[in-house]
Structure 1
Amino acid sequence: MAAFLHFLLLLCSFAYNFNTSQSKHTHPQQKGAIFHVTKDLSTLQYITQIHHGSPLQPTNLVIDLGGPFLWLGCPSDSGSSSSRTLISHCSIKCLSANPNTQKSKTSKCETFPENRITQMATQGDLAEDIIALPFVDGSKTEPITAVNSYFLFSCAPKLLLKGLATGARGMLGLGRSRVSVASQIAAAFGSKPQFILCLSSSNGVVLHDNGEYGSYFVSGVSGSLTYTPLVTKVDSPHEYFINLKSIRVNGKQLSLNYKEGLGGIKLSTVVPYSTLESSVYAVFVKAYEQAAVAMNMTRVDSVAPFGLCFGSKNIDGIRVGSRAPVVDLGLQSEMVKWRIHGRSSMVQVSDEVMCLGFLDGGLEQKTSIVLGGHQLEDTLLHFDLGASMLGFSSSTLMDQNTCSDLGLGFGFKDSM
C-alpha cells in the first residue's frame, strides 16, 4: 500500500500545463507517453483522445487492448491532413504491419482493420501521420510535454465506425504486434516495450514507461504486483491471454472439465462484462448462487443482460466487496491467483438490485473466461511485453486507491 501511495504522489507532482514541440525524430529524454481514459456510460466503452494530422485535430478513439494497430475512419482523400501519406505495399513498413501480405494490385499497403465490438472487418490502407502524445520529461521536474511523432495507422471506411461511442473516430490498438500503439511508442522512443493500464468507471490512464531512467512508473508499484506469464494463442496472436488452472468461489474449487484448449483467460477492454464459456458458466453460476445464499443474500428476478441477481437494499459494504462471495482465479499455479471481490464481480443495476457481472459467452467461446472491462477496473495492470509477463495489483493494493485517483492526478481535461 505504501508503495502505491508513493507512486500516486510522484505522478500527481507533475504540473498540468502542456507545451507542444514538433519533431520527426526520436526523443530519448522523454520518460513515457500518457493517455487519459474515460468511460462512455452509454456504450461502456473506454475512450482516449489523441491529436493527429496537420493541423493537429483532437480525435477520440476507443481503447482496444488486443487490437493489432490504430485505425481511423478516414475521408476518401487526404485533404483533412497535409502530413498524411499512404504506405507502399513493397515497403518495410507494410511488411511490419502485414507480414503475410501478398503482391497488391495497387501500390497501396492493404490492411484489414476490425471493429472488434461489432466484429465487423473490412479492407483499409496503411498510412502515416503526425500524432501528438503527452510525455513526461525524464528530469522528473519538468511539465508534461506533448511530443509529435509519425505513427502508422490504418485508414478504414467510415462504415466501420458503426457501434462505437458517439464521437469516436476509430480504435487505438495496444495489442502484441509490431505496429500497435504500444510497440510504436517503444520503438520511436527507444524504450522498453511495456505499459500500464488502469481503467476506471470515470478517469483512468494508460502509461507507456520508457524504462531508460530506472522504470520510473513501474518502480513505484512493481514490488506490490503479482506476475503471471502471458500466453500466445496461434489464432489470436495480438491479444493478451494468461493461464487458468482453477476457479474457486468463497474458497471452494469448482469441478470443471475444460474442453480442449479452453483452459485460459483473455483480457479485453471491448467486452463490458466478463463472459464464460457456457459449460463453465453453468457450473460457476450455480456455485456462486449457493455461496451467496449461504451469506444470506436473496435472489431476485434477473435483469438483462445478467443471469443472476440479488436484492441489495439491506446489504452494506458491497462496494468494497465485503458482503458478496469472493472469486479466485488460479493462474499458472495454486499459489498465484487473481482475486475478484464483490465490487468487481457485482454490478449495481438499481438501488435495490445488484447482479453478477459475468455473462454466458456461448458454446463457441474459445477461452474459458474473457475478463471484461468491469472486472479490470481498479486493477493496475503492467504489461511487460519484453518479458512476456503480466503484473496485476492485489485487492489489498487497490482497497483505498482507485484508478480514478491515478487518472485525476494528471488532470488532462484542459490539456493541449
Structure 2
Amino acid sequence: MSLHRSSTAALVALLALAVLLGTSADDGGQPIVARVSKDASTALYNIAIKVGGVPLLLDLAGPMLWLANCPTPHRIIPCVSHDCDDISTTYRPPGCPKPGLRGEGPCACPAYPRNPVDGRCRSDDATTITLAANATDGQNPLYPVTFRAVGSCAPGELLESLPAGAAGVAGLSRLPLSLPTQFKHPYNGGYYFGITGIAVNQQSVATPPGVFDLDAGSGTGGAVFSTVTPYTALRWDIYWPLRNAFDVATSGIARADKVAPFDLCYQASALTVTRVGYAVPSIELMLDGGRNWTLPGASSLVQVNNNTVCFAFVQMASSMPAAVDSPAVILGGHQMENNLLMFDLVKETFAFSGLLLGIRTTCSNFNFTMGSSY
C-alpha cells in the first residue's frame, strides 16, 4: 500500500510487541528490535529502548526523542552546529514557550519537547541520549547494541498523563529529530496512507464524496497511523456513517448502556467469541491499490468491563490527541494490535499482515529470549 511523503530508508515492524529500526552506520546498518508493551491504565504503548530498560512512550507520529529530568550536568548541543540546524527545522508546536535566558556558559541549542497526549509543550536543552536495543535478523534478537541519538531534555511535568514509569517520548516520524533519521523536512511527519472507502459486512458505507482525500501540502484529510490514540478516531462525516452501518449490521445483539468515550455498546453475554474475536460483521478499510484491511471483532470491539463490550471507534474531537494537522482518520493502537506493519520509506509503501489471530498466533509470541541487554 502506498505511504504518502516518505523520506529515508527504514523498516519498522510495529505492534508486534517489537519495533524494528535501521540503525546508524556505526554498527553497519544492522536492523534493531526493541520490545513494545501496552500500558493497561492509559491504553498507550511503551518502547524499552532507553539504557537500563527504562520505557519511553512510543509515538509513531512524534517529531523527536525527549527525556524528562536530564542529569545535571548533561551534554548540550551548541547553537552553532549541524545538529542545531536540524533541530531548528523541526516543527515547533504553536504556543510553545521560548527558552529563557541562560546564565554563563556556552550557547545551548533549544528544543521543544511536546507531550503528545495532552498537547503541552516546553522549551529545554537539545542533548544526546544513549539508547539500547538488540540487533536482529528479522526473526530473533542477536546481540545487544547501544547508540546515541539527538533529542531533548524536558521538565518532569511533561510526564503527566503518560504511562506510569515512562521517562519520556520516542518519536518515530520522518522529521529530522525522529529516531528513524530523516533527510527531508515535510510539513507533516506522520505516516499517512490512502483510504478510498469503508465497508461493513461487505457492504460499502455511504460517505460524502472526497471525504478521505489528503491535502499533501498541509496534512489535512487522509488517514494516519497513531500510537498515542488508543482507538481509531474518525472525523464526524466518516464516524457517523460507519457507526450507523455497524449498528444496523449488529441489530440482533442486545445493547448495553454507553461507556465513555464510546457511543455504541453491547451486552457481553450476548456475544460469542471466535478465533478472531467477537462474532460480528467485519469492517473493511478499502485502501489505495485495491486491497482491503479487514478488521474483525477483535479489532472492531473492545471489552470495557465484565458486562459490556463497545464499538472501538470514536468521533474525532478537539479534545482528542490528534496525531497531526487534522487527518480524516487516525488509525489507533487498538486496531493495529496483533498486526505486523512494515514501512518501506524508500518505496513509499507499507505492508500489513492482517490480524495474526487468524493464523493462530499473536505478537507476544515473538522470541525475545536471545541477546537481551536487560
Residue of structure 2 in register with 1:156 after alignment: 154
The answer on whether the counterparts of 1:61 and 1:171 sit within 8 Å (CA) in structure 2 is yes
What SS is found at the alignment partner of 1:42?
coil
What SS is found at the alignment partner of 1:154?
strand
Residue of structure 2 in register with 1:135 after alignment: 135
Residue of structure 2 in register with 1:174 after alignment: 172
Does 2:266 match 1:310?
A: yes
Does 2:359 match 1:369?
A: no
Q: Deviations over 1:89-139 (max 9, x none)?
A: 22111122332699x97621111111101111111221114323222379x
CA offset at residue 413 of structure 1? 11
Residue of structure 2 in register with 1:267 after alignment: 225
Q: Deviations over 1:263-307 (max 9, x none)?
A: 5211100011111111221111111100111xx222222112210
CA offset at residue 412 of structure 1? 7.8
Change (3 A) 1:101 1:178: closer
CA offset at residue 150 of structure 1? 2.3
Does 2:49 match 1:98?
A: no
What SS is found at the alignment partner of 1:181?
coil
Residue identity matched to 1:71: W
The answer on whether the counterparts of 1:320 and 1:399 sit within 8 Å (CA) in structure 2 is no
Instruction: Say which structure is richer in helix.
Output: 1
Change (3 A) 1:398 1:178: farther
CA offset at residue 321 of structure 1? 3.8
The answer on whether the counterparts of 1:118 and 1:163 sit within 8 Å (CA) in structure 2 is yes
What SS is found at the alignment partner of 2:118?
coil
User: Distance between the aligned counterparts of 1:48 and 1:153, measured in 2?
Assistant: 16
Change (3 A) 1:129 1:263: closer
CA offset at residue 171 of structure 1? 0.5
Q: Deviations over 1:139-187 (max 9, x none)?
A: x99x732222222111112211111111111011111123311228xx9
Residue of structure 2 in register with 1:339 after alignment: 294
Residue of structure 1 in register with 2:96 after alignment: none
What SS is found at the alignment partner of 2:158?
helix
Q: Deviations over 1:291-326 (max 9, x none)?
A: 111xx2222221122100112314222561461121
Change (3 A) 1:414 1:26: closer
Change (3 A) 1:118 1:322: closer
Residue of structure 2 in register with 1:400 after alignment: 360
Residue identity matched to 1:149: F
Q: How does 1:20-169 map to 2 (within 5 A)?
A: 26-28=26-28, 31-52=30-51, 57-75=52-70, 77-78=72-73, 84-99=74-89, 107-136=107-136, 144-169=142-167
Change (3 A) 1:40 1:248: same
The answer on whether the counterparts of 1:66 and 1:240 sit within 8 Å (CA) in structure 2 is yes
Change (3 A) 1:396 1:412: closer
Q: Deviations over 1:210-260 (max 9, x none)?
A: xxxxxxxxxxxxxxxxxxxxxx9965x211111121111111112211557
The answer on whether the counterparts of 2:90 and 2:177 sit within 8 Å (CA) in structure 1 is no
CA offset at residue 75 of structure 1? 3.8
What SS is found at the alignment partner of 1:85?
coil
Residue identity matched to 1:306: F
Residue of structure 2 in register with 1:280 after alignment: 238
1:357 corresponds to which of 312, 325, 349:
312
CA offset at residue 398 of structure 1? 4.6
Change (3 A) 1:380 1:396: closer
What SS is found at the alignment partner of 1:245?
strand
Change (3 A) 1:49 1:95: same
Change (3 A) 1:363 1:112: closer
User: Distance between the aligned counterparts of 1:164 and 1:396, measured in 2?
Assistant: 28
The answer on whether the counterparts of 2:87 and 2:177 sit within 8 Å (CA) in structure 1 is yes
What SS is found at the alignment partner of 1:290?
helix
Moved over 3 A (4+): 232-235, 258-263, 395-399, 411-415
Question: How many residues get paired?
Answer: 330
What SS is found at the alignment partner of 1:282?
helix
Change (3 A) 1:48 1:100: closer
Residue of structure 2 in register with 1:205 after alignment: none
CA offset at residue 360 of structure 1? 1.1
Residue identity matched to 2:291: V
What SS is found at the alignment partner of 2:288?
coil
Q: Deviations over 1:15-68 (max 9, x none)?
A: xxxxxxxxx98122x63211111111011111122344xxxx442211111111
Change (3 A) 1:412 1:372: farther
User: Distance between the aligned counterparts of 2:303 and 2:129, measured in 1?
Assistant: 43
Residue identity matched to 1:113: P
Change (3 A) 1:330 1:25: closer
The answer on whether the counterparts of 1:241 and 1:266 sit within 8 Å (CA) in structure 2 is yes
CA offset at residue 77 of structure 1? 2.3
Q: What is the TM-score with the length of structure 1 in the denominator?
A: 0.71
Does 2:374 match 1:384?
A: no
Residue of structure 2 in register with 1:247 after alignment: 198
Percent identity over the alignment is 30
Task: List runs of 5+ in structure 1 lacking aligned partners.
Answer: 1-10, 12-23, 79-83, 188-231
Q: What is the TM-score with the length of structure 2 in the denominator?
A: 0.79
Residue of structure 2 in register with 1:328 after alignment: 284
User: Distance between the aligned counterparts of 2:62 and 2:49, measured in 1?
Assistant: 17
